[in-house]
Structure 1
């Protein structure tokens, strides 16, 4: 039987700790409108959510945009998002109870997100969650964001746990792929995309009231290895960003 102390749980932030995809999409849509772009932000995020904002923006413009300019657009989007989400910040149902129970059971707990430190603090410090994580891995800690594996492999190293003993909690299609590229199993939340969009998670939940630490141990016994990344998704152009 799997023992919690031998495993680590790694959580994405957006769409996992908080249900904020609609506000992220609205911020992108306002930015697109200002630049005369007709891209549907919600559908865009269904495919690309989890990637750094600058990489998402690279896929929208039909002409090459200098990196400095993309950074300015990403900062503008971040400001819009914070204004829209300021009074809406709340954790996904059951999160604190699950994290507390998981720590008590013996799991190591890590955060693995594409967000920079100030955005991480905007969420986890406001919600008083920082003390529930053993390690925090963000944009500043890796060279390549999702859909590459770097975020999760770095988190595993910081936690001192081999990838095959890490379980990732993700809400994004590309985030799930990142977990599999890292050799990790995955549990997905259906906060951002429909359940049938995911490849092969151990379980799909709508929030943390639907799972307990003991359930994770039982799922690990049922799913002994991580799936291989989906080749079709991995071959898409944005996977190289």
Structure 2
């Protein structure tokens, strides 16, 4: 009989470990205002959240933008985000007790995020969360970000658990699609978008007080088939009505 040690839990960071989507959107909106763009950042992130910031920024321009400009805009957005979020960093309710209990049960645990090492340190080191993760996978560890499945595939490879025994915790459409492309099931948090926006998660929760590692193990042992990824939901095109 399988035990928790036969399975892995892989967590996204933004919107999963911390509820920071509104701050992210505010930073994007300030950047757009500075660039003279009228894009609605909240609508943009509802559709494309989970992708690396540079990829999100490319989607709002109707013309080709030099890579050095995208990098400069990305750095500006990151500075705005950190400034806005500095005094508000806190974990999603119930996260630490959940992680502690999951480790005690024997789950392998990884972090898979589209952010870079400096950005994740701003969150997980400030909140003293790094110690709960066996592996940390960032945008610097993969060639393709979400919605491609590389982030989660590399995480599974690093911790030595096959994809079908991994459960991804996500808050974003692109992240859920990345999980399915990696051959994994997904449990979603409604911190960033409403539950009906997701394709087919095993469960949707508001925070980690609504689930336990024991229940998570039960969900995994049901062996629900991994959904076929949705080409429509994984589209990188920004849709105003998303």
Q: TM-score, normalised by structure 1?
A: 0.96
**How many angstroms apart in 2 are the aligned matches of 1:51 and 1:232?**
15
Q: Which aligned pairs between 1:1-241 and structure 2 lie closer than 5 A?
A: 2-235=2-235, 237=237
TM-score by length of 2: 0.96
Cα distance between partner residues in 2 of 1:76 and 1:236: 22
1:34-83 deviations in Å (ceiling 9; x for gaps)? 01100000000000000011110111011110111101100000000000
Listed as ranges, the gaps of 5+ residues in structure 2 are: none
Deviations 1:153-193 (A, max 9, x none): 01011111111110000000110000000000000000000
User: What secondary structure sits across from 1:18 in the alignment?
Assistant: coil
Cα separation, 1, equivalents of 2:235 and 2:87 = 39
- Distance apart, 1:27 and its partner CA: 0.2
Equivalent-residue separation in structure 2 for 1:135 and 1:225 (angstroms): 26
- CA offset at residue 237 of structure 1? 4.4
Which runs of no fewer than 5 residues in structure 1 stay unpaired?
none
Structure 1 Cα separation of the partners of residues 178 and 87 of structure 2 = 31
CA drift of 1:233 comes to 2.1
- C-alpha displacement at 1:232, in angstroms? 2.1
Question: What is the aligned length?
Answer: 238
1:2 to partner: Cα distance: 4.2
Instruction: Report if aligned partners of 1:202, 1:223 keep a CA contact under 8 Å in 2.
Output: no
Q: Is the partner of 2:232 in helix, strand or coil?
A: helix
Deviation at 1:220, TM superposition (A): 1.6
8 A Cα contact 1:171 1:191, kept in partner: yes
Shift of 1:122: 0.3
Q: Distance in 2 between matches of 1:236 and 1:170?
A: 18
C-alpha deviation, 1:223, in angstroms? 4.2
Cα pair 1:149 1:179 within 8 Å, conserved: yes
Task: Note closer, same or farther for the CA distance 1:167–1:122 as it changes in structure 2 (3 Å cut).
Answer: same
